[in-house]
């Protein structure tokens, strides 16, 4: 039997050379335009013919969106800076190692060499029904196939489900939230600076979007203030395979510790909800307490309050409880402590 394979849908390829030109093209083409950074997420959509934009705006030639620059109050990272460059940058490794740790475990070395920070935080949710072209709520239909008695939902949300139970897959997003980063967005009305946690949009706000970018908007940079430079950081990612895999869950924490007690903290997790989630109640509860296992246990229990598991992802509750505990107690992440292939840890080591 003959095998037929479709090619990508036809589109106009636009390759601006400046951020201003790119933003203008996006404004002119509105909802017909698709922004491509490194292409790691874009090509999946295009080759499967799920997304069919009329115009593709390729940012690879916009040099001003690349690179890491020192500022009067921290650092600014261009949205088109590759994950590899961020992971290896001396300033990031020295003062903001939470981010370098996070981007170092994204996918594989080949993908990190091509993938960008802006693309990593702006990628769409991961759900095989949605990605496979099923007419679910997020795709404009009237059902969530993952949240049914026969749905496969091992990787899906335990918080924030509102018709859609797909989770946000970014590894860099929780680290940027913990670092109190600001996302710089160029709009038709000028530049806007948005708190990292406010960049993401949940289905309760708009089920068709995963961030606040609208037609004509362009993410140009991420600014990290010096406020958390050199703090006590922790990042851990749990996934099925050591490389080329999205997180079952990850956690990022930044803490300031004085005299053994926590004086300030920011903690965020991803792959537990449709958007990265900051644990503000946990942050408030641990301030003034010692950075030890006892505080971590208390915080872990608080973190999972209100979690609603689906048929196949109840393991995420003990997993999240223990990741938050480890992030506060300072246990060395498993991936750094182990030299061999990781076993199935979701229940053996972390439950």
Average pLDDT over residues 287-302: 97
Q: What is the pLDDT of residues 309-351, one digit of tens each?
A: 999 999 999 999 999 999 999 876 544 433 333 334 444 444 4
Band (206; pLDDT cuts 50, 70, 90): very high
pTM above 0.85, yes or no: yes
Q: Which residues contact 280 (CB under 8 A, 6 or more apart)?
A: none
Q: What is the pLDDT of residues 221-239, one digit of tens each?
A: 999 999 999 999 999 999 9
Q: What is the pLDDT of residues 257-285, one digit of tens each?
A: 999 999 999 999 999 999 999 999 999 99
pLDDT value of residue 267 = 98
pLDDT at position 179 over 90: yes
pLDDT at position 5 over 80: no
What is the share, in percent, of the chain residues with pLDDT greater than 70? Answer: 93
Domains along the chain with CATH numbers: 63-122+167-348 (3.30.465.10)
């Amino acid at each position: 039997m003959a095998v037929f394979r479709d090619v990508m849908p036809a589109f106009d390829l636009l390759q601006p050379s400046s951020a201003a030109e790119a933003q203008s093209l996006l404004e002119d083409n509105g909802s017909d335009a698709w922004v491509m950074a490194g292409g790691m997420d874009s090509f999946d959509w295009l080759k499967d013919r799920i997304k069919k934009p009329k115009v593709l705006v390729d940012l690879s030639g916009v040099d001003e969106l690349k690179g890491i620059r020192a500022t009067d109050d921290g650092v600014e990272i261009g949205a088109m800076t590759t994950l590899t460059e961020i992971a290896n940058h001396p300033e990031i490794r020295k003062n903001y190692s939470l981010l370098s740790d996070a981007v170092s475990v994204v996918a594989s070395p080949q993908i990190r060499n091509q993938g960008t920070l802006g693309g990593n935080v702006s990628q769409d949710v991961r759900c095989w029904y949605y990605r496979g072209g099923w007419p679910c709520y997020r795709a404009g239909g009237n059902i969530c196939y993952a949240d049914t008695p026969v749905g496969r939902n091992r990787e899906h949300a335990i918080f924030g489900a509102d018709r859609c139970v797909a989770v946000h897959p970014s590894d860099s997003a929780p680290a940027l939230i913990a670092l109190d980063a600001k996302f710089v967005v160029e709009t038709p009305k000028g530049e806007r600076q948005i708190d990292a946690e406010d960049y993401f949009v949940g289905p309760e706000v708009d089920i068709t979007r995963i961030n606040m970018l609208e037609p004509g908007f362009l993410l140009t940079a991420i600014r990290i203030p010096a406020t958390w430079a050199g703090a006590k950081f922790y990042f851990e990612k749990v996934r099925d395979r050591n490389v080329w895999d999205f997180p079952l869950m990850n956690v990022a924490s930044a803490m300031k510790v004085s005299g053994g007690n926590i004086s300030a903290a920011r903690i965020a997790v991803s792959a537990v909800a449709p958007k990265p989630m900051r644990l503000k109640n946990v942050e408030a509860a641990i301030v003034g307490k010692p950075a030890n296992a006892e505080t971590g246990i208390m915080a872990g229990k608080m973190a999972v309050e209100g979690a609603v598991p689906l048929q196949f992802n109840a393991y995420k509750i003990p997993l999240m409880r223990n990741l938050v505990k480890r992030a506060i107690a300072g246990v060395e992440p498993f991936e750094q402590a182990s030299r061999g292939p990781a076993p199935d840890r979701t229940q053996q080591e972390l439950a």
